[in-house]
Amino acid sequence: MRVFLLAPESPARDVLRALVALGIAPVVARPTGDTAADGQIQYLRVATRGDARDPMDLRWSRKALRAAVRDTGPALLHIVGDPWTPTAEVGAAAARDLKVPYVLVGTSSLGGPSGFTARWQARRVRDGAGGFAGISRPALDHLIGGSTPLPTAVIPPTGLVIPPTTPPRLDPPPVVFGVIGRLTRERGVDLLLDALAETYGDWRLRILGTGPAQEALEAQAQRLGLSSRLEWLGALPREERAAFFASVDVLVAPSRSTPQWVEPTGMVILEGMAQGCGAIVTRCGALPDVVGEAGMIVNEDDRPALTRALQGLVSEPARCRPLGAAARQRALERYSDGPIAEAMVAMWRRVAR
C-alpha cells in the first residue's frame, strides 16, 4: 500500500524503514531538501513558503502538492496537523479533489481556530477525514471533541532514540531525582522543592535547564535549606543528555496546566524512560498517558501526594531500579520505531479498506 505522508517535519528514517518492512511504500512530502529515493522510501520536495518550524506559517503550494499526490497515486494521505493549520487544509483539499481518503493527526491539546472562516475550514477538514489520530491521548480527544464512529489511534511523534543498552547506575542511596526542561511556573519545580523539603532521608536533585523562574527557585531552595542537595546544570545540548540521564534514578515532572498550556508530548520524560530512568509525573496533558502503569502519577499541585511518592522511594531506594526498568520497557513497547509503525499501519488499513 502506498501512503503519502504530509507533515511539517518528515518522520524519522527508522520509522519509515519499519513501514517498508510492514508492506508500506511511503511517499514523504518535504518542505526542504531534495527529491530523492531511499530504497522503497520516496521523498518529494514540494514547494513551500514560510517557516517550516511554525505550523501556522508553513504554506505548501496547493498546485504542487496536488500534482505530487496525483502523480504518486497513493491509497491514502496521512496528514499531521491540527485542522485549522495550512498543512491540514491544503492536504485535505488535495485528497478531496483526487478522491483519496485521509487520516488527520492532531498535535494540540488546547486552542483552536479563531474567526468564522478558520472555524469553517477546520470543520471541513475534520468532516472529510476517514480517521483521526493524535500525537497524545489529549491531542486525540481535543481533535475529535468527544467521540466519533471513525477509526482513531494515538500515534506518538517519531524520533525517540532508544539505546540498545543503558549504562550501569550506582545503587542508591542517595536517591538522585532529576528535572529537565525550561524553568517556568508551569513546570512546577516550586512544588517539587516544597515536597522535597518534607522528604526525609538521603536524596539529591539535579536540574537540567534554565528559564525565567530559576532565580526565584534558587531563592526558594535557599529558604528551605535545600541548596546543598541541589545541582543546577544549566542548559546542555541534546547529544549530552545521556550522561545526565545516567546520573539520575527518577525523573520528576510536576507540571501544572494553565488555560494556555498543558504538557504537549512528554518527550523529555520519554527520553529519560528510554535511558532507564523512573518517572514521577502529574496528571498534566500527555504525561499520564506517556508514563502509564510504568511510573508514579499524582494530581497537579498535590504536594502531599508528591511528597508521599518521593518519600516512598527515599525510604526504599531499592524500588528505583525496577521503576527504571519498567519505564524503559514501556518506551520500548510503545514508543520505539516498530510499535509506532505498527500503529500507523493498523490505522491506515482500517481507513483504506
All 3 cell numbers of residue 25?
511504500
In whole angstroms, give the CA distance from residue 184 to residue 189. Answer: 8
Q: Do the Cβ atoms of 268 and 287 come closer than 8 Å?
A: no
Q: What is the distance of C-alpha 68 from the center of its chain? A: 29
What is the identity of the amino acid at 327? A
Q: What local confidence, expressed as pLDDT, does residue 320 receive?
A: 96
pTM comes to 0.92
DSSP state of 250: E
Q: What local confidence, expressed as pLDDT, does residue 303 receive?
A: 98
Mean pLDDT by runs of 10 across the 353 residues of the chain is 96 96 98 93 96 92 98 98 97 98 96 89 96 96 92 94 86 92 97 98 97 98 98 90 94 96 94 97 97 97 99 97 96 96 97 89
Q: What local confidence, expressed as pLDDT, does residue 70 receive?
A: 98
Q: In the sheet where 203-208 sits, what is the strand order?
A: 230-234, 203-208, 175-180, 250-253, 278-282, 296-298
Residue ranges and CATH numbers for the domains of the chain are: 2-158+336-352 (3.40.50.2000), 175-333 (3.40.50.2000)
Q: Do the Cβ atoms of 278 and 323 come closer than 8 Å?
A: yes
Query: Distance between terminal CA atoms of the chain?
Result: 11
Element spanning 76, H or E: strand 76-80
Per-residue exposure over 176-214, b if at least 16 CB sit within 10 Å of its own CB, e if not? bbbbbbebbbbbbbbbbbbbbbebeeebbbbbbbebebb
> Residue 253's closest CA among 174, 161, 178, 157?
178
Q: What local confidence, expressed as pLDDT, does residue 168 receive?
A: 81
Q: What local confidence, expressed as pLDDT, does residue 238 receive?
A: 84
Q: Do the Cβ atoms of 33 and 98 come closer than 8 Å?
A: no
Question: Residue 147 to residues 29, 84, 150: CA-CA distances in angstroms?
Answer: 30, 19, 9
Q: Give the list of residues 6+ apart from residue 174 with CB closer than 8 angstroms, or none.
A: 202, 203, 204
Q: What local confidence, expressed as pLDDT, does residue 147 receive?
A: 85
In whole angstroms, give the CA distance from residue 308 to residue 335. Answer: 29
